[in-house]
Amino acid sequence: MIAVHYFFDKKEVLHRLQDTVPTEGEQIRLKGRKGTVLSLVPINENNVYVHIYLEPKKPKFVPLDPRKKNRR
């Protein structure tokens, strides 16, 4: 098992134990967001730092007028 640490903007987003390590350029999905692996930094045989780029979060839709909400 390998400890894979995922970093986005110099902040650790997630770390998990995995059997395989992602490759550079691979499309991944973390915490419900699509991302791309930018680089891999092997620390030792059991730890790997993975630098990723995540797509920006989409803003939640806020109704302009509370009376226009869908009523059930």
pLDDT digits (tens, 9 = 90+) for 31-47: 889 999 999 999 999 99
Q: Write phi, then psi, for 53 (nearest 5 degrees).
A: -120, 125
Q: pLDDT-based confidence at 64, cuts 50/70/90?
A: confident
Q: pLDDT-based confidence at 25, cuts 50/70/90?
A: very high
Residue 31's pLDDT is what? 87
Q: Write phi, then psi, for 67 (nearest 5 degrees).
A: -75, -15
**Pairwise CA distance, residues 63 & 23, whole Å:** 42
Q: pLDDT-based confidence at 70, cuts 50/70/90?
A: low
